[in-house]
Amino acid sequence: MEFEWAYRQANEVMFVLSSSATGEELSGLGTTFTVKVARPGEEFADGDGSKAELGDGWYRYTGTVAEASLPGLIALEITGAGAKQQNLIGMVK
């Protein structure tokens, strides 16, 4: 399990995006990266939370209360221009 979110709470997850060309950390995307969320038993949908760049290739996604409204496994698919897709799996408890 890569992350854990509290049930019916706004939660965040931090992650690194790397260059699809070089594999090195990718800075400079700001909030232009895309997050898709698959809640327990559902297909991927565009994330409604907020996004931020922390620096040095690190980013943050803060999910909404609605995205954590079902207990169980949750998946995030994160993409961005020039970035290797980042797939995260977590648990809403």
Per-block mean pLDDT, blocks of 10 residues, the chain (93 long): 94 98 97 97 97 98 97 97 98 97
Tell me the three-class secondary structure of the chain, residue by residue.
CCEEECCCCCEEEEEECEECCCCCECCCCCCCCEEEEECCCCCCEECCCEEEEEECCEEEEEECCHHHCCCEEEEEEEECCCECCEEEEEEEC
According to CATH, the superfamily of the domain at 3-92 is Immunoglobulins (2.60.40.10)
pTM of the model: 0.95
Q: Give residue 62's pLDDT.
A: 98
The full set of domain ranges for the chain reads 3-92
